């Protein structure tokens, strides 16, 4: 009897202490709406939030999608309205894409990160992209996948593989980079042409604010400088080139002015084309390339000298890039 009592008592304690049994964690599949992508945008004074929901068709085994839409004066209010409109809880853990509208880019993105990350609404990998109009992008009809969010998400990984430019930039990677005080990050910019999404360069953010939008050519150079480039075929000036990079070396020197020498060694590919492109490459006066992080990792002595007024030092710095075979 004692043994049985102990077992029952332990079971009850486990049930009570776990807090799982009656919590919101338990949901049947039909009690939630699976969201494949979520988008944020802004027009005039209103913030819009869009969610591409997967709708089950009942008897058929096929599914379709529906774009849920809500607005508010702040992001939080818009999200609250979206939940009210949806009636059922939104399930974001299988969300494949986060779309940031270009208009919203002028605002600080911290609020979005805060909602998605701090509320633990997303615990899986999710690709982040920027676009001219979030609603328009999420309204496109997918060709292969069930939802446009998944299609763009898979396309990003495929294009990254083919071009060598790291277009994939997952939400969690961005978040961890932000936590490690890496202030700049780049997300692919997607424009809509003939009702199809096309990747058009990178949108670069500095301290969660839009800092620069690169063209396709610059995206290659930008990726190489950030060491975010894998070997692949890239389009430069409308022509396709294969660039296989052996290494990217940094050399720092600091007396009065910070001197940064970047040497790109190619294994294969057209050196002249790349040299030519780098000649025209304009370095921004702000460190959008994460060079500060490289100085910190590779030359701590210099970093200690410049860390207190790094932004000023970088503004006056001299950057030299050479391409070698």
Partner 1 sequence: MAAGNIDYEKIEFSKSLDENLQIFKNIFKKDIILRIKPLVTAQGKFALLYMDGMVNVQMLNDSVVRPLVTVDTENKSDNSADYIMKQVLFASEIKKTTSASDALRSILYGDSLLLIEGSNELLIINSKGWRTRGISEPEDERILQGPREGFDEAALLNVALIRRKLLTPDFCVEMCRMGRRTDTIVFICYLDSLVNPELLKELKKRISKINIDGILDSNYIAEQIRDNHYSLFKTTGTTERPDIVAARLLEGRVALIVDGTPVVVTLPYLFSENFQSDEDYYLNFTVTTFGRILRYICFFLAISVPAVFVSLITFHKQLLPTSFLITVANLRNGVPFSSVIEAIVLILIFEILKETGVRMPQSLGHALSIVGGLVIGQAAVEAKIVSAPMLIAVALSGICGLMVPRLKGVVLYLRILLTLLSAFLGLYGYIIGLSILIIRIFSLTSFGIDYTISLSKVSYQNLKDTVWRSPWFSMKERPLFNRNIIRMGEIKEK
Instruction: Give the residues lining the site for partner 1 (CB under 8 A).
Output: 14-15, 18, 20-21, 25-30, 34, 36, 54, 56-63, 91, 93-94, 96, 123-124, 146, 150
Please identify, using beta-carbon distances, which residue of 17 and 282 lies nearer to partner 1: 17
Q: CA neighbours within 13 Å on the CB side: how many for 101?
A: 22
Sequence-distant (6+) residues with CB within 8 A of 207 are: 183, 184
Please identify, using beta-carbon distances, which residue of 37 and 216 lies nearer to partner 1: 37
DSSP character string of 282-302: PPPSS--S-HHHHHHHH-HHH
CB of 123 to partner 1, least distance (A): 6
CA distance 317 to 325: 26
Q: Tokens for 291?
A: 């060079």
Whole-angstrom CA distances from 107 to 78, 79, 306 are: 15, 17, 30
Q: Tokens for 313?
A: 């030092």
Please identify, using beta-carbon distances, which residue of 37 and 105 lies nearer to partner 1: 37
CB of 69 to partner 1, least distance (A): 22
Please identify, using beta-carbon distances, which residue of 54 and 243 lies nearer to partner 1: 54
Please identify, using beta-carbon distances, which residue of 109 and 128 lies nearer to partner 1: 128
Count Cβ atoms within 10 A of the Cβ of residue 117 and give its class: 0-12 exposed, 13-18 middle, 19 or more buried.
middle
Please identify, using beta-carbon distances, which residue of 36 and 169 lies nearer to partner 1: 36
CB of 34 to partner 1, least distance (A): 6
CA distance 224 to 214: 13
CA distance 321 to 275: 9
Q: What angle do helix axes 216-225 and 271-280 make, rounded to 10 degrees?
A: 100
CB of 68 to partner 1, least distance (A): 16
CB of 145 to partner 1, least distance (A): 9
CB of 8 to partner 1, least distance (A): 13
Whole-angstrom CA distances from 232 to 53, 66, 99, 112, 160 are: 35, 36, 26, 33, 9
CA distance 151 to 170: 15
CB of 4 to partner 1, least distance (A): 10
Please identify, using beta-carbon distances, which residue of 94 and 286 lies nearer to partner 1: 94
């Amino acid at each position: 009897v004692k043994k049985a009592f102990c077992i029952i008592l332990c079971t009850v304690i486990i049930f009570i202490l776990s807090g799982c049994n009656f919590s919101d964690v338990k949901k049947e599949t039909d009690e939630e709406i699976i969201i494949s992508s979520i988008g944020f945008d802004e027009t005039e004074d209103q913030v819009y939030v869009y969610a591409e929901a997967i709708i089950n068709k009942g008897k058929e085994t096929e599914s379709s999608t529906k774009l849920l839409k809500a607005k508010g004066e702040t992001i939080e209010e818009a999200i609250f309205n979206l939940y009210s409109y949806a009636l059922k809880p939104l399930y974001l853990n299988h969300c494949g894409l986060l779309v940031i509208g270009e208009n919203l880019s002028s605002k600080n993105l911290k609020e979005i990160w805060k909602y998605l990350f701090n509320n633990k609404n997303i615990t899986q990998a999710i690709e982040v992209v920027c676009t001219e109009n979030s609603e328009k992008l999420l309204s496109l009809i997918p060709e292969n996948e069930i939802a446009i969010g998944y299609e763009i998400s898979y396309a990003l990984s495929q294009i990254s593989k083919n071009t060598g430019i790291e277009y994939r930039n997952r939400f969690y990677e961005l978040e961890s980079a932000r936590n490690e005080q890496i202030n700049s990050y780049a997300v692919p910019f997607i424009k809509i042409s003939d009702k199809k999404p096309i990747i058009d360069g990178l949108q670069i953010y500095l301290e969660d604010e839009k800092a620069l939008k690169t063209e396709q050519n610059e995206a290659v150079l930008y990726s190489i400088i950030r060491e975010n480039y894998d070997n692949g075929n890239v389009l430069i000036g409308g022509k396709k080139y294969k660039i296989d990079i052996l290494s990217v070396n940094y050399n720092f020197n600091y007396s009065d002015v910070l001197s940064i020498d970047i040497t790109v060694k190619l294994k294969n590919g057209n050196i002249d084309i790349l040299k030519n492109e780098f000649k025209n490459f304009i370095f921004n006066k702000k460190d959008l390339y994460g060079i500060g992080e490289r100085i910190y990792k590779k030359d701590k002595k210099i970093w200690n000298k410049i860390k207190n007024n790094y932004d000023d030092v970088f503004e006056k710095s001299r950057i030299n890039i050479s391409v070698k075979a």
